[in-house]
Structure 1
Amino acid sequence: MRKQVAAKASGRKPPSLDDGAKQSAGEPTLLSGGNPQIEMGYGDEPVRAYIAAMPGWKSEVGHRLDTIIARAVPGVQKAVKWNSPLYGMEGDGWFLGVHCFAKYIKVAFFRGASLSPLPPVSSKSGDVRYFHIHEHDKIDEAQFLEWVTQASRLPGERM
């Protein structure tokens, strides 16, 4: 059975669950692996809704990441697509995405192979590098801010 979490930003009733569980109006579900199901949208509001719906410790970390990204890149563009927050530069595409898994948060740097130092986790895609955050990890915020700053200056992904 899927878990229910914080209020959904749009106020519309979420889709029915295929496992027959009752879903309260205004509450997003957690998809398999614990990723919040948030309606696609552009701007700060859907990203805030996603962060609020992140389960447990992940919501606080999501808020910290969002704050660091906004500090590193004034005027950063935000959206939720495919149930993941994306961050980018207007007219230049998306440079970073966030996704929840059962045991960690995955931050994807879409041109991460061009960052220095490289984010620690490789990808099947040669350009993408990941930064995984587990519950008790201490985040080097200065390094994360540097990665975000570098990534925002690179051509983004068109999605």
Structure 2
Amino acid sequence: MTKTANSKIANVTSKRPTKYDATRTRVSAKMEGEKEEKGQAVADQPKLLSGGNPQIAKGYGDAPVQAYIAAMPGWKSAVGRHLDQLIMRAVPEAQKAVKWNSPLYGMEADVWFLGIHCFAKYIKVAFFNGASLSPPPPVESKMENARYFHIHEKEEIDEAQFSDWVKQASQLPGERM
């Protein structure tokens, strides 16, 4: 060891512990434990992006879509589950994926007819070729062909109309993404 290292060790070992040091050590250990507990809880839950949209890793199939739905905050999770059931009942052969933190539904690989996205006060269902649906979903888009259906808390979904839109959308050309 060098002389500097020896003097540092000597300085550390020569200091007598005080009552203050013991209290500070207990408080520091408690705070570290709380940070670990909070960190673990946060690590187990997907991060919510702006507006409360869950951040879910890109993936294909049902599992990432179900992870997204489970991570949707509050009332949106139950509505997301219901939407997924309606979509799969209307078009059982639909393929699923999560891309750009949104569940997507399509009829062929990487060609999607519908996407779901969480916002602070509503869920947006995007029909990528929605302008061709009859009747078109109510919310216009800046994109020429897209139309949206917004679902707010405690709002009833017209299941027959929604299912009809899904069936129509699945038969139209999808959006390659």
> Structure 2 length normalisation: TM-score?
0.76
Larger Rg: 2
Where in structure 2 are there 5+ consecutive unaligned residues?
Answer: 1-37
What does 1:36-115 correspond to in 2, within 5 Å?
A: 36-91=54-109, 93-115=111-133
What SS class does the counterpart of residue 63 from structure 1 fall into? helix
Task: Write 1 or 2 for the structure with the bigger share of helix.
Answer: 2
- Distance in 1, Cα, partners of 2:44 & 2:84: 23
Aligned to 2:151: 133
Aligned length: 139
CA offsets 1:16-70 (integer angstroms, 9 cap, x no match): xxxxx94633320111100000000000000000000000100000000000000
User: What's 2:171 paired with?
Assistant: 153
Contact 1:46 1:80 in 2 (8 A): yes
Identity of aligned residues (%): 75
- Taking the aligned partners of 2:156 and 2:89, their CA distance within structure 1 comes to 19
CA deviation map 1:49-102 (0-9, x unaligned): 000000010000000000000011111100000000000002471000000000
SS in 1 for 2:43: coil
* 4+ long deviations beyond 4 Å: none
The TM-score, its normalising length taken from structure 1, stands at: 0.84
Q: Distance in 2 between matches of 1:85 and 1:133?
A: 16
Q: Measure, in 1, the Cα distance between the counterparts of 2:136 and 2:87.
A: 18
Q: Report the aligned-residue RMSD.
A: 1.3
Cα displacement (A) at 1:143:
0.2
